[in-house]
């Protein structure tokens, strides 16, 4: 298995999406190409999308000789990647192990690197350092609390503001170290994990992008086509659940206010509850632990 990234819930995703000759798939989060390769090896043509040039280069390497077309961009614009309606779309949200473990990308907690965290390295968007050096303390605390689910968000935000300007991931880890009890034992979750996650979600505007991408993805499916989303965070999962409910005409269990006019019913939700990875997968790949899979199918009429 590649060290770039181990594909999560591969067996389940292959079962739900059933890649086969004659089908056209879009992998909106190609990463190290794990899912893309498995789709293409089963005979589907695959459009592999990623906003990270390094990921697309790895995907091209892994999928050499297979019917895979690469498209560099944000999956919020996935309609631009194809004129043909799709049989299936996969969104495997968040960042890859390679991104997380490469110090120069600024996602790594355990090594010092520039505090960047942009998935699209060519984008003109603010880096994590620029964001943290600009925002008011209250907004930093909100990001850490909401997107990172970090209960010590206010104390960490206060240390960040005192330490400005931050430049490196080490500068950020030092702020967290000053704000809370700090132990980094092998096998235990690093105390900076939640803060880093919150900032990454803000830097890449991950929730806004997902909110735009889900209806766009459904519009690109053929009738009967399927959309599978793997999320790793409760806010992402709630957004997927609510959007699926809304587009399938199900109002109960939705946390969203009723939109007016009601959107047309275009989906059938196939997973009544989100599916977690098996215990065996969670043991084998601890990074899969928080994964939740939801699948929906575009209605035939
Ligand atoms: C969890 S990894 C996907 C791993 C992949 N399924 C595999 O098996 O190797 C997520 C990937 O999606 C990309 N990504 C995340 N959000 C994106 C977006 N909005 N548009 C395009 N790519 C995105 C990241 O750059 C990263 O490479």
What is the pLDDT, as a whole number, of residue 113?
95
Residue finishing a domain among 177, 203, 229: 203
CA nearest ligand 1 atom 3, residue: 31
Residue 114 lies in a domain: no
158 plus 217 within the same structural domain: no
Residue 1 lies in a domain: no
What is the pLDDT, as a whole number, of residue 253?
53
Residue finishing a domain among 157, 181, 203: 203
Ligand 1 atom nearest the C-alpha of 32 is: 9
Alpha carbon distance 243, 255 (integer Å):
10
176 plus 212 within the same structural domain: no
Range of the domain at 220: 10-97+206-298
Give residue-wise pLDDT tens across range 73-97: 999 999 999 999 999 999 999 999 9
Say which CATH number the domain at 25 has.
3.40.50.150
193 plus 210 within the same structural domain: no
50 plus 82 within the same structural domain: yes
293 plus 219 within the same structural domain: yes
Alpha carbon distance 280, 268 (integer Å):
30
Say which CATH number the domain at 133 has.
1.10.150.170
Residue 165 lies in a domain: yes
Cis peptide before 60 (omega within 30 of 0): no
Testing ligand 1's pocket by substitution, the residue of 4, 17, 31 carrying the most ligand atoms inside 8 A of its CB is: 31
Ligand 1 atom nearest the C-alpha of 30 is: 5
What is the pLDDT, as a whole number, of residue 1?
47
Alpha carbon distance 24, 187 (integer Å):
40
Alpha carbon distance 226, 70 (integer Å):
20
196 plus 217 within the same structural domain: no
Q: 285 CB less than 6 Å from ligand 1?
A: no
**Residue for token digits 């935000």?**
157
Q: 229 CB less than 6 Å from ligand 1?
A: no
Q: 233 CB less than 6 Å from ligand 1?
A: no
What is the pLDDT, as a whole number, of residue 158?
98
184 plus 236 within the same structural domain: no
Give me 221's structure tokens: 């499916």
Residue 156 lies in a domain: yes
211 plus 294 within the same structural domain: yes
Query: How many domains in the chain?
Result: 2
Confidence class of residue 195 from pLDDT cuts 50, 70 and 90? very high
Q: 268 CB less than 6 Å from ligand 1?
A: no
Helix and strand numbers, DSSP H then E, in the chain: 12, 7
Residue 104 lies in a domain: no
214 plus 93 within the same structural domain: yes
- How many angstroms from the chain centroid is the CA of residue 64? 25
166 plus 143 within the same structural domain: yes
Q: 117 CB less than 6 Å from ligand 1?
A: no
Give residue-wise pLDDT tens across range 222-273: 999 999 999 999 999 999 999 999 999 986 555 666 667 777 889 999 999 9
Percent of the chain with pLDDT over 90: 88
Q: 74 CB less than 6 Å from ligand 1?
A: yes
Give me 160's structure tokens: 């960040």
Q: Could you tell me whether strands 292-298 and 221-231 are parallel, antiparallel, or unpaired per DSSP bridges?
A: antiparallel
**Residues whose CB falls within 8 Å of the CB of residue 98, separated by 6 or more in sequence, listed in order:** 3, 4, 5, 31, 32, 54, 55, 58
186 plus 199 within the same structural domain: yes
Give residue-wise pLDDT tens across range 34-86: 999 999 999 999 999 999 999 999 999 999 999 999 999 999 999 999 999 99
210 plus 153 within the same structural domain: no
Q: Quick check: 23 pLDDT over 90?
A: yes
Residue finishing a domain among 203, 231, 258: 203
Residue 232 lies in a domain: yes
Closest to 273 in 3D by CA, of 246, 300, 294: 294
Q: 92 CB less than 6 Å from ligand 1?
A: yes
């Amino acid at each position: 298995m590649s060290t770039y990234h181990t594909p999560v819930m591969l067996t389940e995703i292959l079962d739900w999406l059933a890649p086969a000759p004659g089908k056209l798939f879009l992998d909106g989060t190609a990463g190290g190409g794990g899912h893309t390769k498995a789709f293409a090896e089963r005979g589907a043509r695959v459009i592999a999308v990623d906003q990270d040039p390094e990921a697309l280069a790895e995907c091209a390497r892994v999928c050499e000789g297979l019917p895979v077309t690469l498209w560099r961009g944000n999956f919020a614009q996935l309609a631009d990647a194809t004129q043909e309606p799709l049989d299936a779309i996969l969104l495997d949200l968040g960042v890859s192990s390679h991104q997380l473990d490469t110090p120069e990308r600024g996602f790594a907690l355990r090594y010092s690197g520039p505090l960047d965290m942009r998935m699209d390295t060519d984008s003109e968007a603010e880096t994590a350092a620029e964001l943290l050096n600009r925002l008011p303390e209250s907004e930093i605390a909100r990001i850490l609390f909401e997107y990172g689910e970090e209960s010590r968000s206010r104390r960490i935000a206060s240390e960040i503001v005192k330490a400005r300007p931050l430049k490196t991931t080490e500068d950020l880890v030092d702020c967290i170290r000053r704000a809370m009890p700090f132990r980094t034992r092998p096998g235990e979750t690093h105390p900076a994990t939640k803060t880093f996650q919150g900032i990454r979600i803000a830097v890449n505007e991950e929730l806004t992008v997902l909110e735009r991408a889900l209806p766009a993805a459904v519009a690109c499916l053929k009738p009967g086509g399927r959309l599978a989303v793997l999320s790793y965070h409760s806010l992402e999962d709630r957004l997927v659940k609510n959007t699926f409910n809304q587009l399938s005409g199900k109002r109960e269990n939705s946390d969203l206010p009723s939109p007016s006019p009601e959107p047309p019913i275009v989906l059938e939700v196939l997973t009544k509850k989100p599916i977690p990875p098996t215990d065996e997968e969670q043991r084998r790949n601890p990074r899969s632990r928080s994964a939740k899979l939801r699948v929906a199918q575009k209605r035939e009429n």
